Amino acid sequence: MEINIGLLGAGVVGSAVASVLLEGKEDLGRKIGGAVRLKKILVRESERQRSFQAPPGVLVTDFREVLNDPDIQIVVELMGGEEPAARYIERLLVAGKHVVTANKEVIAKHGPELSARARSTERQLSFEASVGAGIPIISPLSRDLLANDIRSIRAIVNGTTNYIVTRMAMDHMAFDDALLEAQHLGFAEADPTNDIAGTDAAYKLAILASLAFHTKVVPEDVFREGISSLEAQDFRYSQELGFAIKLLAIAHKENGSLQLRVHPALVPQDHILASIDGAFNAIEVEGDLMGRVLFHGMGAGSESTASAVIGDVIEIARRLNLDIKPLPMEENSRSIAIAPMSELVSRYYFRLNVADRAGVLASIAKVLGDRGISIASVIQKDADLPTQTADLVVTTHPSREDAVQESIRCMGELDVVRKVSNMVRIEDWPSR
Ligand SMILES: NC(=O)c1ccc[n+]([C@@H]2O[C@H](COP(=O)([O-])OP(=O)(O)OC[C@H]3O[C@@H](n4cnc5c(N)ncnc54)[C@H](OP(=O)(O)O)[C@@H]3O)[C@@H](O)[C@H]2O)c1
């Protein structure tokens, strides 16, 4: 039986997928056990020059040409953005088509309804490429790790921000220059707001946590803080303290509730996540049976993403050829409370700009001590003679987030403190 495929979008990823489907047909056919044909590709502008040679009539600009084509069994959505992608996927499932997507925004925001639709129409909705591009993580969480009670996920899932923090740490680059370079190299989008603010990582964490903890996590459940407050000094001081700075996405189950957060974090230099540099991604999953396992690789890019997309297509096509129904997707309907961020207990790093005179430390220690925060280390850095100020770097023992936020406000009001320049959480779980 010939399997016909429809593709929505022929941009960065869609073009790579189209090339594999058009040029690698024979190899794919062998893996699938039958012929495959890319029958239609939906784009906005059919006249635009593409990096692949589309056979005549394949490029279309009307979604209904894909939706209403009775030969098309599998549709790959690679348009990106929430709408119309989410609406199109829903309509395709209702029309009886299997859908593969790389769209993290759609899956993070609409995954539960779309999965319910796929269950009710007995169709498959696959989204391996939505997190970590070609790094296999959706399939392991949905299948291979199911025997485990997952305790935590700690991940670097945004290549743009990881590239920026790597360049700031290793080459002492300023934030804006590192961002410009990432855009030049094609890692960062023209509008990088979602990456920088941690929104993209929050989408991906919502998807991973839903699968790992069998519950419905939406992006709003995830606390998020981006990387724009990081400055050169933070990288310098944290290196001296034995840490790297990474934008982490963390889901952690403790006392029956789920902590979900995306923020920059100080990671011990001997932990494996500290060594994930540049545009690479890594996802560490900890379960009760298998302990910690790390998934690592190129987490963006056309070919890496195409690898996961085509993998999903092959899986569905093989089932179609063997006439096997898709396994109904799990409902992820367990109810788990989301722990408020104010209850987080963590270690903290503060960088303060203070008056360079006696008694400063005592005032700061009092503010912290009054709120039950115990100081782990203090170093004074970069004294500036003309202004008679210096940087003070303070790290704490485990403390509560609400007490820390209150202390930041109170320290900012001290006349010896010019500015509380930054606060970064320290994630110093045991290394392995
Ligand atoms: N790029 C990556 O490294 C990467 C990694 C993992 C996941 N993803 C995900 O993969 C998806 C695609 O990303 P991309 O980087 O390939 O995007 P892109 O380069 O912006 O391409 C989008 C494509 O969709 C078409 N399109 C957009 N809106 C449309 C509409 N309303 N009707 C018809 N066609 C429409 C565009 O048509 P025209 O060409 O005619 O403009 C274009 O071909 C996104 O969900 C993204 O999050 C990307």
What contacts 264, CB < 8 A, 6 or more positions away? Answer: 165, 225, 226, 227, 229, 230, 245, 246, 247, 248, 424, 425
Nearest protein Cα to ligand 1, atom 4: 300
Q: CA of 176: how far to CAs of 162, 198, 231, in Å?
A: 14, 16, 10
Contact 398, 347 (CB under 8 A): yes
What contacts 431, CB < 8 A, 6 or more positions away? Answer: 268, 270, 271, 272
Domains parsed from the chain with CATH numbers: 3-133+302-322 (3.40.50.720), 146-298 (3.30.360.10), 342-426 (3.30.70.260)
Residues classed as catalytic:
204
pLDDT at 404: 98
pLDDT at 25: 84
Number of H helices and E strands in the chain, helices first, is: 14, 18
Does the CB atom of residue 36 touch ligand 1 within 6 A?
A: no
pLDDT in single tens digits along all 432 residues of the chain: 899 999 999 999 999 999 999 998 889 999 999 999 999 999 999 999 999 999 999 999 999 999 999 999 999 999 999 999 999 999 999 999 999 999 999 999 999 999 999 999 999 999 999 999 999 999 999 999 999 999 999 999 999 999 999 999 999 999 999 999 988 887 777 789 999 999 999 999 999 999 999 999 999 999 999 999 999 999 999 999 999 999 999 999 999 999 999 999 999 999 999 999 999 999 999 999 999 999 999 998 899 999 999 999 999 999 999 999 988 878 888 899 999 999 999 999 999 999 998 889 999 999 999 999 999 999 998 788 888 999 999 999 999 999 999 999 999 999 999 999 999 999 987 654
Q: Dihedral of the CA atoms 80, 82, 87, 88 (nearest 10)?
A: 0
pLDDT at 295: 98
Q: Which atom of ligand 1 is nearest to the CA of 133?
A: 6
Does the CB atom of residue 308 touch ligand 1 within 6 A?
A: no
What contacts 274, CB < 8 A, 6 or more positions away? Answer: 243, 244, 246, 267, 268
Does the CB atom of residue 134 touch ligand 1 within 6 A?
A: no
Q: CA of 119: how far to CAs of 110, 196, 352, in Å?
A: 14, 35, 54
Closest to 7 (Cα-Cα) out of 84, 121, 99: 99
Report d(CA 115, CA 98) in Å as an integer. 11
pLDDT at 382: 77
Alpha carbon of 293 to ligand 1 centroid (Å): 31
Alpha carbon of 12 to ligand 1 centroid (Å): 7
Give the predicted TM-score (pTM) of the model. 0.96
Alpha carbon of 43 to ligand 1 centroid (Å): 9
Contact 79, 100 (CB under 8 A): no
pLDDT at 349: 98
pLDDT at 1: 80
Contact 249, 205 (CB under 8 A): yes
Q: What string of DSSP letters covers 350-398?
A: EEEEEESSTTHHHHHHHHHHHTTPPEEEEEEEEEETTTTEEEEEEEESS
